[in-house]
Amino acid sequence: MVITAACSNNNNGGDTKTSNSTNTPKETAAEETTKPVEKVTFSYFNGVAAAKDTNSNETTIGKILEDQTGVNFKIEHLVGDLNTKIGTMIASNAYPDVMLPDAAIDKILDAGAFIALDDLIEQYGPNIKRVYGSYFNQMKAEDGKIYFLPFSNTVGEYIPDPNINQGAFWIQRRVLKEAGYPEIKTLDAYFDLIKNFVEKHKDEDLTGMVSLTHDWRFFATSNPPNHLAGYPNDGNVIVDMTTFDAKTYAADDNTKRWLQKLNELNADNLFDKASFVDNYDQYLAKLTSHKVVGFFDYGWQFSNAQNALKDAAKQDPTQDDFVYFPLPVTFDGQKDQYLDPPGFVKNRGLGITKSAKDPARIIQYLDNLLTDENQILQRWGIKGDTFEVDDKGRMYRTAEQIVKIDESFNEKFGFKYYSWNWPLYGNGSSLPDGNSVAPGLQPEVFQMSLTNEDKTILEKYGVKTYAELFAAPDDRPWYPAWGIPKEQGSEQQIWETKKDEITKKYFPKLVLAKPADFEKVWTEYITAFGKLDTAAYESWTTTEVKKLIEAAK
């Protein structure tokens, strides 16, 4: 693949090893002299990220990549309902060149919208084979072909995340400050903290708690019982660590306990009833309004709101009060498992559609992303501008660089568009020289990125990273169970669809019911849920989990 001097512009940090790259600068220069690259624009639909639509070449990173390959992408992000958008594409049989359909990927595969990538990878994908090769068997569909590239593959030595980008119960920092930085481990203590704060600040018109329910993101409301019971996000099931049997929890005592607590919160006028009708953007807007005291969510999912709050706090430290702090809350203070163990999510990813004008050109672009140099470009940026390298070869960012890399900079430079949602070295990956691929996971960068207010609150809790507040993840070779592929139209996929319909119908009723009516509504819910063949779903999942355990031995 063509790589110009624009990329080798010391993006590897000088001392950073980049032996896995496909071309040398001399080879590249010769290719460019003899073979000019014709420019082309492809369309790319992103069904998960919330961002402004743009051309990739309007960002610094995208322009460098266009200089290397001649390729630009017109990126469209989801607005409205994902299934409606995907349904329209399928009905018209017209697709963008490249798609990230996220939770609707089964529908895209069932419609035959993605082309098989095997021959393209064999012919044009040396870096794809290097990065994904050990995962190829897991990436194959039932027909033995590969139709999309996931994003969770680990390259090099695994590096844990010092931040909380997964699940947690979040609360405004000012609440902890006012309460004297108490240790909050149980759900009751968490709700008491919210109640007491709202009671003391009646004049602020605060919302005690909100919950995200929009579209496929409903899991932010249905997953907490699993976490509160001390388990990680395995989707619809809890996997017993002794027997490895998978059991659903959507209608068990954990879920009943969670919903009853929300019901009590609602009865005390501390729960935002609009949670069940707000869309994703409205939810994020509420989180940045300073009015929401607490909520459960995954760090990656509300990062736009959290980053906006952090940017405001950098400009005015008093605004740090409104930044959210993660807490490892469980029902009774048992060992938590919010932090993800290393895993491979193989049922989500990016594919090339049958509408694509030039699949070979696209796969070459994707392959070119997977050099060490371009992974550094995508995640770290440009040496001397967005990162530095010390005399030991360690990559870091200066205080000035950290301050300037805010949400506005992320959009203009391209970090917002390229740090995820493309083939990459997954989170936790490292470069051959030991540097972290993700700057946020590099200890030097994490420590430098902390404000004085960050350091103060972490010190109050006796830790140096947010992850230290949480229990280390147990080894789970199957993780995550929600990533086990299911064919569109299969019994398992139908069970999940019907289960989602039932929970979306009854959870609002259960939370918003008068407390005296809760048991009655719960009985109605259990009756409806009982009509599903849950035993068959659990048996199938248990079998798949045990297959993955055996494969890992």
3-state secondary structure 45-89: EECCCCCCCEEHHHCHHHHHHHHHHCEEEEEEECCCCHHHHHHHH
98 in a domain, yes or no? yes
445 in a domain, yes or no? no
311 in a domain, yes or no? yes
Q: How far apart are CA 17 and CA 331, in angstroms?
A: 47
468 in a domain, yes or no? yes
Contact by Cβ (8 Å): 101, 125 = no
Q: Let me know if 269 is exposed, middle or buried by CB neighbors in 10 A (0-12, 13-18, 19+).
A: exposed
Which of 415, 438, 461 lies at the terminal end of a domain, its last residue? 438
Same-domain check for residues 43 and 117: yes
pLDDT average, residue stretch 222-243: 97
Helices (H) and strands (E) in the chain, counts: 25, 13
Where residue 407 sits, what CATH number does that domain have? 3.40.190.10
Same-domain check for residues 415 and 518: no
pLDDT number for residue 354 = 98
What pLDDT digit, counting tens, does each position of 134-167 carry? 889 889 998 999 999 999 888 998 888 999 999 9
111 in a domain, yes or no? yes
Q: Which domain holds residue 408?
A: 5-156+345-438
What pLDDT digit, counting tens, does each position of 68-124 carry? 999 999 999 998 889 999 999 999 999 999 999 998 999 999 999 999 999 999 999
443 in a domain, yes or no? no
Same-domain check for residues 178 and 124: no
pLDDT tier for residue 489 given thresholds of 50, 70 and 90: confident
Same-domain check for residues 68 and 136: yes
Handedness of CA 50, 428, 43, 67 (dihedral sign): positive
Percent of the chain surpassing pLDDT 90:
81
Which of 438, 460, 477 lies at the terminal end of a domain, its last residue? 438
Tally of domains within the chain:
2
465 in a domain, yes or no? yes
Q: What's the pTM value of the predicted model, to 2 decimals?
A: 0.75
pLDDT number for residue 19 = 38
Same-domain check for residues 127 and 202: no
DSSP code at position 335? P
pLDDT number for residue 272 = 98
Same-domain check for residues 326 and 367: no
Same-domain check for residues 458 and 521: yes
Q: How many other CB atoms sit within 10 Å of the CB of residue 349? A: 22
Same-domain check for residues 504 and 411: no
**The pLDDT of residue 50 is above 80:** no
417 in a domain, yes or no? yes
What pLDDT digit, counting tens, does each position of 416-450 carry? 999 889 999 998 899 999 999 999 899 888 988 89
What pLDDT digit, counting tens, does each position of 501-523 carry? 999 999 999 999 999 999 999 99
pLDDT tier for residue 36 given thresholds of 50, 70 and 90: low
Same-domain check for residues 62 and 88: yes
Same-domain check for residues 218 and 241: yes
Same-domain check for residues 384 and 304: no
Same-domain check for residues 349 and 317: no
